[in-house]
Amino acid sequence: MSSITRRRALGVAAGAAGAVTVLARTGQAAASAPRAAAPAADSDPAPFDEVYQGRRIQGGPAHGGGHHGEHHAGGYSVTIDGRELHVMRNADGTWISVINHYEPVATPRALARAAVRELQGAPLVPLTLG
């Protein structure tokens, strides 16, 4: 019984991207999934503090000095119930986290909300490397 590996999935995605490129160059329309418009990569996201599905989510400029957060998120921090959610900003201005790494969203607020939905009530545990 075979299962899909990450390598195979990336190969399929690369093949699909190549097909879209060929279709675009030949002038044929290619179907694509709608994607949320992301703000420009150089704009600062607005801070937020709200309760979403019973969880307190907050986001704003990072204070303190986690090297990882400052490098990948441009000095922006997101927490769920006071625990830091490791976030990263992509080159196109979208955001991803350790919880939904393959589902980029337009804003840190949308990212925190998506993480809360994915957690389904489970606590956010610290990311440990090593």
CATH class, range 48-119:
alpha beta
The three-class DSSP label of residue 79 is strand
Q: What does the angle CA 46 – CA 48 – CA 51 come to, to the nearest 5 degrees?
A: 155
Q: How confident is the model at residue 130 (pLDDT cuts 50, 70, 90)?
A: low
pLDDT at 105: 97
Q: pTM for the complete prediction?
A: 0.63
pLDDT at 34: 46
How far, in Å, CA of 62 to CA of 107, rounded?
16
Mean pLDDT of 42-60: 92
Mean pLDDT of 82-111: 94
Residue 128 is which amino acid? T
Which tens digit of pLDDT belongs to each residue from 29-38?
A: 434 444 555 5
Could you state, in order of their start, the residue ranges of all structural domains in the chain?
1-30, 48-119
Q: Which residues of 97-124 are buried (b: 16+ CB within 10 A; e: fewer)?
A: bebeeeebbbbbbebbbbbbeebeeeeb
Which tens digit of pLDDT belongs to each residue from 68-94?
A: 444 555 689 999 999 999 999 999 999
Mean pLDDT of 115-129: 89
| Average pLDDT score over the chain | 78
